[in-house]
Structure 1
Amino acid sequence: MTDLDALAEELDRRLADADAELAARYPGDRGVRQPVHTVYVPADRYHAGMVGEWVTDAKAVLDQHGHSATELAEALELPPDQAVEIYERLRAKLDREPIEDLRIDFEDGYGTRPDEQEDEAAIAAARSLAETVKSASAPPYHGLRIKSLEAPSRRRGVRTLDLFVGELSDAGALTDGFVVTLAKVTSVDQVEAMVVVLAAIERVHAVPSGSLKFEIQIETPQSILGPDGTALVARMISAGAGRVTGLHYGTYDYSASLGVAAAYQSMEHPVADHAKDVMQLAAAGTGVFVSDGSTNVLPVGDRDAVRAAWRLHQRLVRRSLVRGIYQGWDMHPAQLPTRFVANYLFYREGLESAAARLRAYVSGGESGYLDEPATAAALAGYLLRGLDCGAAEMSEVDKLIGVDAAGLAKLARRPQPL
Structure 2
Amino acid sequence: MTQGEPVGTDAAVGTTFPDAVRAQAGAALAAVDAELERRYPGDPGTRQPVHTVYVPGDVFGADTVRSWGDAALALLDQHAPDADAFGAVLGLEGGLAAAVHERVRAKLLREPVEDLRIDFEDGYGNRPDAEEDAAAARAAALVAAACDDGDPSRVPPYLGIRLKCMEAAVRDRGIRTLDVFLTGLMAAGGLPGGLVLTLPKVTYPEQVATMARLCEQFELARGLPPGRIGFEIQIETSQSILGPDGRATVARMIDAAGGRATGLHYGTFDYSACCGVSPAHQSPDHPAADHAKAVMQVAAAGTGVRLSDGSTNVLPVGGRAQVHDAWRLHHALVRRSLARAYHQGWDMHPGHLPTRYAAVYAFYREGYAAAAARLAAYARQDAGAVLDEPATAKALSGYLLRGLDCGALDDAEVVSATGLSRARLEGYAAPRRGALTAAAPARDGAP
For 1:5 and 1:89, locate their aligned partners in 2 and report how far apart those are by CA, in whole Å.
60
**5 Å matches for 1:96-111?**
96-111=110-125
The answer to whether the Cα contact below 8 Å between 2:44 and 2:430 also exists between their aligned partners in 1 is no
Residue 77 of structure 2 is matched in structure 1 by 63
Task: Using the TM superposition, name which of 297-306 and 81-90 deviates more.
Answer: 81-90
AA matched with 1:84: A
1:199 to 216, 233, 249: 216
Residue 50 of structure 1 is matched in structure 2 by 64
AA matched with 2:81: H
The answer to whether the Cα contact below 8 Å between 1:107 and 1:146 also exists between their aligned partners in 2 is yes
Deviation at 1:364, TM superposition (A): 2.3
Deviation at 1:367, TM superposition (A): 3.5
Residue 418 of structure 2 is matched in structure 1 by 401
1:167 to 160, 167, 184: 184
* SS of 2:272 mapped into structure 1: helix
2:325 to 300, 305, 308: 308
| 1:116 has 2:130 as partner | yes
Q: Deviations over 1:341-394 (max 9, x none)?
A: 000000000011111111111112244111111111111111111111111112
Aligned length: 418
1:256 to 273, 281, 287: 273
> Once the two structures are aligned, what percentage of the paired residues are identical?
56
Deviation at 1:417, TM superposition (A): 9.9
Deviation at 1:202, TM superposition (A): 2.5
* SS of 1:44 mapped into structure 2: coil
AA matched with 1:401: T
The answer to whether the Cα contact below 8 Å between 1:318 and 1:342 also exists between their aligned partners in 2 is yes
Change (3 A) 1:42 1:414: farther
Residue 12 of structure 2 is matched in structure 1 by none
Residue 356 of structure 1 is matched in structure 2 by 373
For 1:26 and 1:250, locate their aligned partners in 2 and report how far apart those are by CA, in whole Å.
25
Deviation at 1:209, TM superposition (A): 3.1
Change (3 A) 1:4 1:413: farther
* SS of 1:194 mapped into structure 2: helix
**5 Å matches for 1:86-101?**
86-101=100-115
For 2:117 and 2:278, locate their aligned partners in 1 and report how far apart those are by CA, in whole Å.
28
The answer to whether the Cα contact below 8 Å between 1:291 and 1:328 also exists between their aligned partners in 2 is yes
Residue 340 of structure 1 is matched in structure 2 by 357
Deviation at 1:206, TM superposition (A): 4.0
Q: TM-score, normalised by structure 2?
A: 0.91
Residue 125 of structure 1 is matched in structure 2 by 139
Q: Deviations over 1:188-225 (max 9, x none)?
A: 10011001111222234444332111000000011101
For 2:341 and 2:372, locate their aligned partners in 1 and report how far apart those are by CA, in whole Å.
19
**5 Å matches for 1:5-404?**
5-137=19-151, 138-404=155-421
Q: Deviations over 1:151-195 (max 9, x none)?
A: 001000000000001111111141221011001001010011001
AA matched with 1:105: D
AA matched with 2:25: L
The answer to whether the Cα contact below 8 Å between 2:144 and 2:192 also exists between their aligned partners in 1 is no
Gap regions ≥5 residues in structure 2: 4-15, 433-441
Change (3 A) 1:300 1:179: same
Gap regions ≥5 residues in structure 1: none
AA matched with 2:118: I
Deviation at 1:116, TM superposition (A): 1.0
For 1:187 and 1:273, locate their aligned partners in 2 and report how far apart those are by CA, in whole Å.
21
Cα RMSD of the aligned pairs, angstroms, is 1.4
* SS of 1:329 mapped into structure 2: strand
* SS of 2:234 mapped into structure 1: strand
* SS of 2:313 mapped into structure 1: coil
For 2:200 and 2:372, locate their aligned partners in 1 and report how far apart those are by CA, in whole Å.
39
Q: TM-score, normalised by structure 1?
A: 0.98
The answer to whether the Cα contact below 8 Å between 2:70 and 2:108 also exists between their aligned partners in 1 is no
The answer to whether the Cα contact below 8 Å between 1:356 and 1:367 also exists between their aligned partners in 2 is no
Moved over 4 A (4+): 414-418
The answer to whether the Cα contact below 8 Å between 2:423 and 2:443 also exists between their aligned partners in 1 is no
Deviation at 1:79, TM superposition (A): 2.0
For 1:34 and 1:315, locate their aligned partners in 2 and report how far apart those are by CA, in whole Å.
21
For 1:374 and 1:207, locate their aligned partners in 2 and report how far apart those are by CA, in whole Å.
36
For 1:173 and 1:34, locate their aligned partners in 2 and report how far apart those are by CA, in whole Å.
22
* SS of 1:148 mapped into structure 2: coil
AA matched with 1:26: Y
Task: Using the TM superposition, name which of 290-299 and 361-370 deviates more.
Answer: 361-370
AA matched with 2:162: R
For 2:394 and 2:215, locate their aligned partners in 1 and report how far apart those are by CA, in whole Å.
34
AA matched with 1:271: A
